[in-house]
Amino acid sequence: MKGLDFFFRPKSVAVIGASRDREKIGYCVLREMKKRYKGRVYPINPRARSIMGLKCYSSVKDLGDLDLAVITVPCRVVPLVLRECVEKGIEAVVIITSGYSETGKEGRDREEELKRIIRGSRTRVIGVNCLGIYDAYSGVDTLFLPESKFRRPGRGGISFITQSGAFGSTILDLMSFEGIGISKFVSYGNQTDVKENELLEYLDRDRKTRVIVAYIEGISDGRRFMGVAGKAVKNTPVVIFKAGKTEMGSRAASSHTGSLAGSYRIYEAAFKQTGVLEAQSVEEMFDFAKVLEFLKPPKGDRIAVVTNGGGFGVIISDAVIRNGLKLADFSGESRRRLRGILPGYANIHNPLDLIGDADKERYEKALNVLIKDPNVDGVIAIPLLQTFSLEPGVIDVIAGIKKKTGKPIIACATGGGYIRRHLARLEGKGVPAYISPERAVRAMKALVYYGRVKDS
Amino acid sequence: MKGLDFFFRPKSVAVIGASRDREKIGYCVLREMKKRYKGRVYPINPRARSIMGLKCYSSVKDLGDLDLAVITVPCRVVPLVLRECVEKGIEAVVIITSGYSETGKEGRDREEELKRIIRGSRTRVIGVNCLGIYDAYSGVDTLFLPESKFRRPGRGGISFITQSGAFGSTILDLMSFEGIGISKFVSYGNQTDVKENELLEYLDRDRKTRVIVAYIEGISDGRRFMGVAGKAVKNTPVVIFKAGKTEMGSRAASSHTGSLAGSYRIYEAAFKQTGVLEAQSVEEMFDFAKVLEFLKPPKGDRIAVVTNGGGFGVIISDAVIRNGLKLADFSGESRRRLRGILPGYANIHNPLDLIGDADKERYEKALNVLIKDPNVDGVIAIPLLQTFSLEPGVIDVIAGIKKKTGKPIIACATGGGYIRRHLARLEGKGVPAYISPERAVRAMKALVYYGRVKDS
């Protein structure tokens, strides 16, 4: 292990400020860490002998080797315990405590003191003023939010770093609800030591991370960001949501995380130049991330649309064009074959309307034609499962087609519980699925865009 | 009763083509109609004596008074049974059967024949090629989709008309999932007789309809639409999603419902001139509808944002500005009062960050200040319920504030099941609630826009 590895795959963890009081952050962190993390966990609290059945220690100095320390004590005690961590040579320290530069001048001074304490040592710090880390694989969990309010997502290939802890927690909760898995989550707070650029670099090299998502208000070092992001995107797609785009938003950001958000135009240009995908809404962050995790980019931007609900064909066509993609022109061969599959009165064009009485066999035949068409780069399928004749087996048909083609297939279906269960089944089989047609198209656009970035 | 009333509040209904065969549309329509509709239901089928325990008749001619007939028989039999309806003087007929102008020349001729049959009679027709009607109050339900695939929404103040039946059904399903109630749903298909303008006019006069939502591909009579919509919006907000905006989409629309979608610019101009609110995505249709149903428009566009998650404050500020709204400048009096409520290091400005340790009391005090501020026209509250200190009771706080102010309050919270349950509670208390910050802001924008339309 080296560098930031100690944060994510420590062999042992100390929770400094561990507590028996359920209202304390040190209680929550210890409880969540105990749940999933398989290494050794040491509560540190000089006024307790044991907590949650674990023997308590007065100081990290009383322990043997230690990889990660999580500091949850109040501001005024932090310098003391941090100094002990440094003296002990602990590689990784997460400081959850707040009350630093985000609160003004005195807080800034307190934060400077922490920087002085670690300067020249081997100790790296994530925080202050953060939620810290959740690693779905190793079980490291420093998030002090009880599971009753907030469910952790399962394992997956997306890593997510965020400048805002509270924002990050709501998004983790959303991911878990939507069945989107995670690899590593980092709420990095004030970036007292470890900064977003270093995290980006680390995650790009991380084997379990297939997509990086970031919520940022400001960037610590723009020049370095350009280099790091530009290099990362060649292997790992990077999706960024930039908050503080407007003057008012940027003013709000400065009192939130102390970020100097700077001109949004500069960020926009930097994202474009490096090939970072910019999410324009909270939903887009993970709409984009899941398509990039599941699918290889298409070779071009010519999209085939297939549905059994004509209205959705119209809506998707509009969205395809307005998002700068193209509706594929089916080849003569495809048209002939489709003519044999569809009722006589059906129009054979793109969007392909399989007509209201379509069943899963018609879907299968049509999809088999479309994925072989040299004029088609990617497919969006919109199965209206509410219709009379369409069996839920169409889910397996779409997943089966996805397996045997290199062209990306995205699904979309709108509706309630019945639909959502089937969309979840589709995603379980590796087909990204969206509840709204506009979101499905924007995901395809992101995938096309990433294909161009990778090839450039 | 007069005019279209017979479709929505009939005293008796005949299902022509009622069937015992579960695969037949006539089976589904009869079954769903029996479930909720309280009037008399007559199955019409010359080859059966009784279906689902109801006595069967050979023809509508064998019955006494009849207000509504639903035709589910194949194309070739429709003229015969429609003629019988006309001869009997039935006021309202829904023709679900497809195979008309949407299929080409011969179909067009068949549809012309139906027009000739009803010409000069008192019989009005909704359809052909449609799902027909769902009225959550009277229980009229001609939708041939089983409830296992598709749940009907409960009662509410939104009426929804749609040119695409399949699209409409997915949206009803979505509404039911999101707990949005409906008054009247009409899938009007080919508009053989009753057209969207007449439906708009009817719904504007309908007491149970507080908001009209429409999915359209093309409009039958643009000049009449301008008059009808322009008049309607003064009493009833009208939200329209226009499909077929691009040339490709409009081509798809013409083979879907035979609509000549025409230039989108003309539609855009017409919507603007009449004061119709245009939804730009499927989600916006009901994001707008529910805010218009629950809240009175604000007097201006100066929005106060209050949250306990700074990141969301930044995101909402961006969205407020980018959507052309203003961030309210709190009055001196408000600032003084807020200063007494918040921790010393907090910044008192808009967006108001109640800081990570906010509880429901702090929300209550802050909201009480904001709604009394003469510089504030409306409020967006973003309670991060996942945080450590914020109790779910904040929901009742927000709902209580909403009750005692005339200023609109919209809520937003992102997350999973825990959050969604609380958002549903909020909506149950009349506060429109959104899962994403961008959607919450666009809903507020729609409300501000409608206020201007009403005042103009």
Closest-CA distance, A188 to chain B, in angstroms, reads: 13
Closest-CA distance, B129 to chain A, in angstroms, reads: 10
Residue B215, CA distances (Å) to A34, A97, A317, A419, B187 in order: 52, 52, 16, 21, 10
Token pair for A13: 């963890």
Average pLDDT score over residue span A241-254:
88
In this predicted structure, the answer to whether residue B259 has a pLDDT above a threshold of 70 is: no
B275 and B301 in a common domain: no
Residue B275, phi-psi category: left (phi > 0), alpha (psi -120 to 50), beta (remainder): left
The dihedral through the CA atoms of B392, B396, B401, B407 has a sign that is positive
- Give one DSSP letter per residue of B273-315, joined into a string: HHTPEEPSSHHHHHHHHHHHHH-PPPSSSEEEEEES-HHHHHH
pLDDT score at B257: 66
In this predicted structure, the answer to whether residue A260 has a pLDDT above a threshold of 70 is: no
Query: pLDDT band at residue B137, thresholds of 50, 70 and 90?
Result: very high
B429 and B321 in a common domain: yes
Average pLDDT score over residue span B28-39:
94
Range of the domain at A391: 296-455
Nearest CB to A173: which of B145, B345, B386? B386
Q: Measured between CB atoms, does A21 come within 8 Å of chain B?
A: no
Q: Measured between CB atoms, does A263 come within 8 Å of chain B?
A: no
The residue of chain A with its CA nearest to that of B441 is A281
Average pLDDT score over residue span B241-250:
90
Question: Which chain A positions have a beta carbon within 8 Å of B151's beta carbon?
Answer: 416-418
pLDDT score at A1: 79
Inter-chain CB pairs, A–B, below 8 Å: 248
Average pLDDT score over residue span A36-44:
96
Q: Which residue has the tokens 């989107």?
A: A180
pLDDT in tens, B160-196: 999 999 899 999 999 999 999 999 999 999 999 999 9
Cβ contact, residue pair B150, A246, below 8 Å? no
Q: How large a percentage of chain B has pLDDT more than 70?
A: 98
The DSSP code for A280 is S
pLDDT in tens, A108-148: 999 999 999 999 999 999 999 999 999 999 999 999 888 88
Token pair for B176: 């039911």
Domain boundary among A268, A294, A320: A294
Does residue B135 lie within any of the structural domains? no
The DSSP code for B377 is S
Question: Which chain A positions have a beta carbon within 8 Å of B31's beta carbon?
Answer: none
Residue B98, CA distances (Å) to A167, B24, B130 in order: 50, 14, 7
Cβ contact, residue pair B436, A282, below 8 Å? yes
Question: Which chain A positions have a beta carbon within 8 Å of B394's beta carbon?
Answer: none
pLDDT score at A257: 66
Strand partners, A144: none
A422 and A365 in a common domain: yes
Q: Measured between CB atoms, does A207 come within 8 Å of chain B?
A: no
Cβ contact, residue pair A166, B312, below 8 Å? yes
> For an interface test with A, which of B101, B170, B242 has the most A Cβ atoms less than 10 Å from its Cβ?
B170
Q: CB count, 10 Å around CB of B154?
A: 12
CA distance A405 to A393: 19
pLDDT score at B208: 97
Closest-CA distance, A264 to chain B, in angstroms, reads: 11
Does residue B165 lie within any of the structural domains? yes
Entry pTM: 0.94
Cβ contact, residue pair B103, A321, below 8 Å? no
Q: How large a percentage of chain B has pLDDT more than 90?
A: 86
Q: Measured between CB atoms, does A245 come within 8 Å of chain B?
A: yes
Q: Which of residues 275-314 of B touch A (CB under 8 A)?
A: 281-283, 308-314
Token pair for A272: 């474009």
CA distance B12 to B197: 26
A442 and A379 in a common domain: yes
Does residue B139 lie within any of the structural domains? no
A227 and A262 in a common domain: yes
B231 and B271 in a common domain: yes
Token pair for A454: 């990778």
In this predicted structure, the answer to whether residue B39 has a pLDDT above a threshold of 90 is: yes
pLDDT score at A248: 85
The residue of chain A with its CA nearest to that of B102 is A345
pLDDT in tens, A384-416: 998 878 999 999 999 999 999 999 999 999 999
Average pLDDT score over residue span A372-377:
98
CA distance A60 to A81: 8
Question: Which chain B positions have a beta carbon within 8 Å of A243's beta carbon?
Answer: 311, 314-315, 318
The domain spanning residue B105 has which CATH number?
A: 3.40.50.720
Cβ contact, residue pair B388, A148, below 8 Å? no
pLDDT score at B315: 95
- Is the preceding peptide bond at B351 cis, omega within 30 degrees of 0? yes
Does residue B419 lie within any of the structural domains? yes
Nearest CB to A436: which of B282, B386, B418? B282
Cβ contact, residue pair A384, B166, below 8 Å? yes
Residue A186, CA distances (Å) to A140, A198, A240, A446 in order: 11, 12, 14, 24
Average pLDDT score over residue span A75-82:
97
Treating both helix axes as pointing N-terminal to C-terminal, what angle do B165-178 and A417-428 enclose, rounded to 10 degrees? 100
Beta strands in B209-259 (DSSP E): 211-216, 238-242
In this predicted structure, the answer to whether residue B250 has a pLDDT above a threshold of 90 is: no
Cβ contact, residue pair B247, A321, below 8 Å? yes
pLDDT score at B213: 98
Specify burial of residue A269 (Cβ count, 10 A radius: 0-12, 13-18, 19+): exposed
B426 and B325 in a common domain: yes
Q: Which residue has the tokens 């079954």?
A: B31
Question: Which chain B positions have a beta carbon within 8 Å of A253's beta carbon?
Answer: 314
The residue of chain A with its CA nearest to that of B163 is A311
The domain spanning residue A352 has which CATH number?
A: 3.40.50.261
In this predicted structure, the answer to whether residue B37 has a pLDDT above a threshold of 80 is: yes
Cβ contact, residue pair B310, A420, below 8 Å? no
Does residue A141 lie within any of the structural domains? no
Cβ contact, residue pair A256, B419, below 8 Å? no
Q: What's the mean per-residue pLDDT of chain B? A: 94
Token pair for B348: 């008192």
Cβ contact, residue pair A252, B177, below 8 Å? no
Token pair for B306: 């209050």
Poorest-pLDDT segment among A221-230, B60-69, B383-392: B383-392
pLDDT score at A258: 64
In this predicted structure, the answer to whether residue B261 has a pLDDT above a threshold of 60 is: no
Count of residues for chain B? 456
B287 and B301 in a common domain: no
Q: Measured between CB atoms, does B176 come within 8 Å of chain A?
A: yes
pLDDT score at B258: 64
B335 and B231 in a common domain: no
pLDDT score at B272: 96
Whether B386 and B417 have beta carbons less than 8 Å apart is answered as no
pLDDT score at B389: 85
Domain boundary among A259, A276, A294: A294
Domain count, chain B: 3
Q: Which residue has the tokens 């609509």?
A: B259
The residue of chain B with its CA nearest to that of A170 is B415
Cβ contact, residue pair A419, B215, below 8 Å? no
pLDDT score at A306: 98
A109 and A219 in a common domain: no
Residue B262, CA distances (Å) to A349, A399, B15, B450 in order: 19, 37, 37, 26
- Give one DSSP letter per residue of B22-80, joined into a string: TTSHHHHHHHHHHHH--SEEEEE-TT-SEETTEEPBS-GGGSS--SEEEE-S-GGGHHH
pLDDT in tens, B288-343: 999 999 999 999 999 999 999 989 999 999 999 999 999 999 999 999 999 999 98
Q: Which of A7-16, B216-225, B414-423 has the highest mean pLDDT?
A: A7-16
Q: At residue B449, what are phi and psi to the nearest 5 degrees?
A: -60, -45
pLDDT score at A373: 98
∠ CA B276-B278-B279, nearest 5°, is 145
Question: Which chain B positions have a beta carbon within 8 Å of A310's beta carbon?
Answer: 164, 166, 252, 255-257
CA distance A270 to B444: 32
CA distance A268 to A278: 8
Domain boundary among A79, A99, A129: A129
Q: What's the mean per-residue pLDDT of chain A? A: 94
Question: Which chain A positions have a beta carbon within 8 Å of B311's beta carbon?
Answer: 162-164, 166-168, 215, 217, 243, 256
∠ CA B408-B412-B417, nearest 5°, is 140
Cβ contact, residue pair A349, B251, below 8 Å? yes
CA distance B69 to B81: 10
pLDDT in tens, A306-358: 999 989 999 999 999 999 999 999 999 999 999 999 988 888 999 999 988 89
Q: Measured between CB atoms, does B255 come within 8 Å of chain A?
A: yes
The residue of chain A with its CA nearest to that of B305 is A252
A424 and A303 in a common domain: yes
Does residue A139 lie within any of the structural domains? no
Average pLDDT score over residue span B52-65:
96
pLDDT in tens, A158-206: 999 999 998 999 999 999 999 999 999 999 999 999 999 999 999 999 9
- DSSP β-ladder status, B54-55 and B50-51: antiparallel
B325 and B209 in a common domain: no
Poorest-pLDDT segment among A17-21, A91-95, B232-236, B249-253: B249-253
Closest-CA distance, B383 to chain A, in angstroms, reads: 11
Cα Rg of chain B, angstroms = 25
pLDDT score at A102: 84
Does residue B137 lie within any of the structural domains? no
Closest-CA distance, B388 to chain A, in angstroms, reads: 6
Longest dimension (CA), chain B: 82
pLDDT in tens, B386-403: 887 899 999 999 999 999
Count of residues for chain A? 456
Does residue B143 lie within any of the structural domains? no
Cβ contact, residue pair A107, B345, below 8 Å? yes
Cβ contact, residue pair B173, A313, below 8 Å? no
Whether A179 and A232 have beta carbons less than 8 Å apart is answered as no
Cβ contact, residue pair B164, A387, below 8 Å? no
Question: Which chain A positions have a beta carbon within 8 Å of B283's beta carbon?
Answer: 436, 438
Closest-CA distance, B127 to chain A, in angstroms, reads: 15
pLDDT score at A149: 80
Average pLDDT score over residue span B61-89:
97
Average pLDDT score over residue span B407-426:
95
Closest-CA distance, B249 to chain A, in angstroms, reads: 5
Token pair for A291: 């398509």
Nearest CB to A283: which of B168, B314, B436? B436
